[in-house]
Chains A and B, each alone.
Chain A
Amino acid sequence: MSTPARLALDRQTAPWLFASALITTLPHFLHQPYWLSGLAALLLFWAVWLWWKDERLPGRWILLFLVGTGCAGILIEFRSLFGRDAGVAMLVVFMAMKLLELKSRRDAQVVVMLGYFLLLTHYFYSQSIPTGLWLLVAFWLLTATLIRLHGGYVSSRQETLRLAAKLCLQAIPFMLALYVLFPRVSGPLWGLPSDAHAGMTGLSETMSPGSISRLAQSADIAFRARFDGNQPAKHKLYWRGPVLEEFDGTTWRPTAGRGASPALDNLSPPLRYELTLEPHNQRWALALDAPMQLPEGVSLSSPLTAMLRQPLTERRRLQLAASLDYRFNVDEAPGTLQRNLVLPPGANPRARDLARRWREADSNPSSLIGKAQALFAASFTYTLQPPLLGEHSVDDFLFRTQRGFCEHYAAAFVFLMRAAGVPARVVSGYQGGEANPLDGYVVIRQSDAHAWAEVWLAGRGWVRVDPTAAVSPARIETGIADALPFGEPLPALVQWRADWLRGLRYRWEAINNAWNQHFLGYDPQRQRQLLSRLGLPDADWRSLASALGLTCALLAAALTAWSLHRRPKTDPAWRLWQKALRRLAKREVDCAPWETPLALAARVRTQCPELAETFQAVVDAYLKARYGNAPNHLKDLRTAVAQLR
């Protein structure tokens, strides 16, 4: 079917559409399967080539075949067409296909709308500042494409881009008003597809040799903390994750089922702080040992881990308090103690033998702990690249390799303690953190992931023992970057020692944190706080909607008035001449559009003889000011006009 000329697409619009398609699909190539990116790139390239050669677009059957192929591929790859990733893949394929179907303006409009839609899908994967900036650039380009589309071939590129920038800038006040005032609903509105929260990193529920050292090679931020008062010393910052009590020879696991709630004596005043957790898709809240007051929605498990009600799928702020000095379960249930003495039968005979000899020499638990720590301190090495361990992993580690990361030390220590008859267990979590001097937030990265031990001593309850401290005190005192020798596979971000680099990193992270806290973290609760500070306490959706409507109406009115206002001509001589004409009009002498000043003066001489002289002076001064090059004639004109009464 042919398209009416009015609705046809002029040839020079196509590059704009190609650019729009490219900028909206390109970032998806980072996380899509290669074949899909390849297909989209191929279609895009084909469309550009056809345009370049000015050839016919492919027929309907070829397009249908391509759509079918794309959908089949997506179905095979994602096993669905409607999940998050599959949906995004479909949009990318449609976008590329639409470029092969550009016939009328409507097709081009669909491309731009798809582009706006595709922008949204990028935020499933990242909401960082660079993504936000890229949003603005892509938004600008899409808007320019839309303008170019309607302006037709007469619009110049520069003019189009400038108008698009103008429109985007003018849209920003509306966006801000909507962002602040639009009644926020905390999602989700319905069940999310199962792949909605794929790809989050963090501690896992189990621990085996290598699991934490792998995690420690990531510089991703696990969470941030801000203390109300002074920040405690680094070696006191143990962020408690899952407690692992069951050991099968290689892997440590938490005990299933609920135990009794913990009994806690707090010996130090509460230390208040705020956590901002990055999503890790698990339930633990990583509170500081030992948690005292918990916010709503957080409870303590029996081994003292603060647990959320739901797995954490989005960034969340928690207000917490901790007591750094505490007594925990001085009267522990016998069943729990028994559980923390169990060892897999037959495993690690040499370690058991060593522990038995220690106990025979001195059965006091403190001396046993001291012996184990002395053993580690003597000849062991702290490293991110431990050698592989055999079937008897603890024996292998203790007597052969003697190189390991915190999980090796914690596991070997707990094994020795249990073999010596002291109830002990592994605690995983994070240790330390780095304070950013710019905004006062303590940043805890995945590289701060840690595992330590807890032993139960009669009369003192569960006591934390960190065997890593015996091997590498620097790890606990200052952090992982100082504890590991150069050449270990630590992320570059963590290794940077130079002051200026560190300063840059602090600045960047502080900006990121502000972005996270104030922009991304703007939730219903923050909205209420902000509005009550703005003088709108307990705003419900109705008052929000009216405030929003009022703000938008005022903004629109201001923008309309500003853009429709007819700016007076800036030529002062012309303005004075108009003034003279208005005065003349009062005497019922109107200047016709075709009349020159001299012709008008001649007419005034006959119609209004009493004015002839003064008006002639006005005309002379006007002509000199307007067409002569002496600047002081403007003054003459002004006085001449003033005399025209």
Chain B
Amino acid sequence: MGLLARLQQALFRWHSDGSAPLRLGQRRIFIVPSRPGLFFAVALIVMLIGAINYNLALGHALVFLLAGLGIVGMIHTFRNLHDLVITPGRPEPVFAGETARFPLTLDNERKAPRLALELEAVKGQFVEAAIAGESRITIRVPLPAQQRGWLALPRVRLSTRYPLGLFTAWAYLQPDMRCLVYPAPIIAPLPEPSQAQSGSTRQGEGGQEDFAGFRERLPADPLHHVAWKASARQGGNAPLLIKQFAGGGQSELQLDWAQTDPTLAAETRLGILAGWVLAAEAAGLRYGLCLPGSNQAPAAGDRHRQACLEALALYQP
């Protein structure tokens, strides 16, 4: 940590703000003249000298009015941040190489709008925001996700120059927010299902070969699975029936760390696994994931896919 960073640490007492809503109080907001503000001050001095030199009473009045405007502008710039309530949200996971977006809800309890707010998480990248009076908006602070794993939101600088641009007021936010970054998927052909896995007999809807009986239809079952004749025999008010088959699980797939080329780098192998997970999910297969030290039982669906990707993201070789 450099000297400057250490000084800033001591001065601004950086620490996590937690995940609770935080209200910007007077101690959190800093304010200094901006570059146009300094220019304005120099112009005022020149104008004052002119007014004295030509003995212009109205010139004095103008310069003093401008000086008053500067002070008032400072207060209003400060006020543009003061009492703003910031609530951290939950960022959606992304793949490495994409941009993570951290949602922050800014709540303006005042009647007056707050305009020209700028959020800066990465130096030079600004997100602009304006909040109408007595309302709230949600801002997604972008942050490039480069590595898999947890991506924490760094310190965010919330700044404004509104209304006059003569002062810059800012506050540092460090809400406790992190975004899960999955490994960047690498497109590769799916591995052949291994015999040992596919041989296991399981009860379920996967197979459609050996008739095993009827069951009542659940709302999620597609209409073409309904056994219309059997249902008609049941009578008017009875629920619809669905044929059940004993599974022939040839479409069950076990994705294994060991199946990837061991000569490749670990990150590449994780990428290949992530690509397989996506491909398997897209093909509507049941799949499991086996990593050294962790194992996801075969299943399908969004939650399963997320669980697999999370395991890949957090895998420690």
Contacts and interface: CB of A to CB of B under 8 A. Distances in A.
> Are A and B associated in one complex?
yes
B162 A150 contact: yes
Contacts of B128: 6, 152
A560 B52 CA distance: 31
A520 interface: yes
Interface string B36-62: 100110010001011111111111111
Given A564-B26, A564-B82, A6 B126 contact: yes
A143 B164 contact: yes
Contacts of A171: 65-66, 68-69, 71-72
B130 interface: yes
Interface string B53-94: 111111111111111110111011011001100000000000
Contacts of B53: 187-190, 192
Residue picked from B52, B73, B75, most chain A C-beta under 10 Å: B75
B57 A520 contact: yes
Interface string A104-145: 011001000100110110011001000110010001000100
Given A113-B39, A146-B165, A520 B58 contact: yes
A172 interface: yes
A194 interface: no
A131 B58 contact: yes
A19 to B, nearest CB: 18
Interface in A515-546: 519-522
Contacts of A175: 61, 64-65, 67-68
Given A163-B163, A556-B75, A179 B61 contact: yes
A147 interface: yes
Interface of A: 6, 105-106, 109, 113, 116-117, 119-120, 123-124, 127, 131-132, 135, 139, 143, 146-147, 149-152, 154-155, 159, 163, 167-168, 170-175, 178-179, 182, 185-190, 192, 196, 314, 519-522, 552, 555-556, 559-560, 563-564, 566
B228 to A, nearest CB: 45
A186 B53 CA distance: 8
B67 A174 contact: yes
A147 to B, nearest CB: 4
A568 to B, nearest CB: 11
Contact of A174 (B52, B57, B71, B118): B71
Residue picked from A150, A152, A555, A566, most chain B C-beta under 10 Å: A150
Contacts of A560: 75, 78
A563 to B, nearest CB: 5
Contacts of B144: none
Given A124-B56, A178-B68, A566-B83, 9 more contacts: A6-B126, A109-B36, A120-B51, A123-B62, A149-B165, A179-B61, A189-B49, A192-B54, A314-B55
A189 B52 contact: yes
A178 B47 CA distance: 15
A556 B64 contact: no
A123 B72 contact: no
A194 to B, nearest CB: 14
Contact of A147 (B79, B112, B164): B164
Given A146-B163, A167-B72, A175-B68, A117 B61 contact: no
Contacts of A564: 26, 78-79, 82-83
Closest 4 CB pairs of A and B: A174-B68, A171-B68, A178-B64, A520-B57
A188 B72 contact: no
Contacts of B130: 151-152, 154
Given A163-B163, A172-B65, A172-B68, A187 B40 contact: no
A10 B164 CA distance: 17
B79 A150 contact: no
B157 to A, nearest CB: 14
A185 B52 contact: yes
9 contacts: A113-B43, A150-B162, A151-B116, A174-B72, A178-B67, A189-B49, A196-B54, A556-B71, A566-B109
B161 interface: yes
A143 to B, nearest CB: 7
B115 interface: yes
A147 B72 CA distance: 13
A563 B79 contact: yes
A112 to B, nearest CB: 9
Residue picked from B26, B62, B67, most chain A C-beta under 10 Å: B62
Given A120-B50, A150-B161, A152-B130, A167 B69 contact: yes
B26 A139 contact: no
Nearest to A515: B57
Contact of A120 (B36, B56, B126): B56
Given A170-B72, A189-B49, A559-B72, A150 B165 contact: yes
Contacts of A522: 57
Given A151-B162, A152-B116, A174-B64, A123 B76 contact: no
B72 A179 contact: no
B191 interface: no
A150 B55 contact: no
B19 to A, nearest CB: 13
A188 B26 contact: no
Contacts of B65: 139, 168, 171-172, 174-175
Nearest to A170: B72
B60 A187 contact: no
Given A117-B47, A120-B56, A196-B54, A179 B64 contact: yes
A154 B67 CA distance: 28
B70 to A, nearest CB: 8
Contacts of B118: 6
A176 to B, nearest CB: 8
A12 B34 CA distance: 24
Interface in B107-132: 109, 112-113, 115-116, 118, 126, 128, 130
B69 A168 contact: yes
Nearest to B35: A106
A113 B35 CA distance: 13
